[in-house]
Homo-oligomer: A and B are copies of this chain.
Amino acid sequence: MRLYDFAGAPNPRRVRIFLAEKGIVVPVELVDLRARAQHEPGYVARNPSATVPMLELDDGTCIAESVAICRYFEALQPEPRLMGTDARDQALVEMWQRRMEIDGFMAAGEAFRNATPGFKDRALAGTAKVAQIAALAERGRERLDRFFKFLDKVLSGRDFVAGSRYTIVDITALVTVDFAGWSKLKPGPELGNLAAWYERVASRPSAKA
């Protein structure tokens, strides 16, 4: 088994934190995104989305997409449960996860990739040329502002985004807040619940993964 990884990108960090919380160690191979190693034909043949992370199993199966990789390890080693316990809890984790991704993580991606010179013609991940759209960068910034306020409201009276337990949703939300920081967007200090939660999750040893 081998995890294709890169330190300076938000998606691979989601998987690293997840593995750290489970105490799972996987051999790693670095894919240098700065050198566009994810676009090399050998890599694209195994992951046509040309994204990192990717998990290669010993039988050659390649699992791309951060949450798919997490789901593999959740099934392989359920404890500690990071993707929900019973049917109801698993569904709620999935719901909160998607809210974090759609309203937060994707908004951070819109803001960053449509405004950063190094991503000219690469406004979306993948091998196709995709032009930046200035209005989309701005839309991403506005969405993140709303997202921070929403998250602060959600965190009123609960310790973690999906409830009383730390889950994959907190990982996605933490990585989203840090990713938004790349576009110089940070939750204001008036969002006290969000600030307290951030301190709570960012101070876990896994956050350094």
Contacts and interface: CB of A to CB of B under 8 A. Distances in A.
B150 A139 contact: no
A153 B57 CA distance: 23
Given A130-B139, A133-B133, A68 B95 contact: yes
A146 interface: yes
A88 interface: yes
A135 B95 CA distance: 30
Interface string A32-72: 00000000000000001100000101000101110111011
Given A133-B133, A139-B130, A75 B95 contact: no
A99 B49 CA distance: 8
A61 B90 contact: no
A95 to B, nearest CB: 4
B91 A68 contact: yes
Contacts of A99: 49, 65
Contact of A90 (B72, B128, B150): B72
A126 B146 CA distance: 11
A198 B209 CA distance: 43
Q: Is the interface of A mostly helix, strand, loop or mixed?
A: helix
Interface in A63-95: 63-65, 67-69, 71-72, 75-76, 86-88, 90-92, 94-95
A181 to B, nearest CB: 22
A83 to B, nearest CB: 10
Given A63-B92, A72-B87, 9 more contacts: A64-B95, A68-B94, A71-B90, A71-B94, A72-B88, A72-B91, A131-B139, A133-B133, A135-B135
Interface of A: 48-49, 55, 57, 61, 63-65, 67-69, 71-72, 75-76, 86-88, 90-92, 94-95, 98-99, 103, 124, 126, 128, 130-131, 133, 135-136, 139, 143, 146, 150
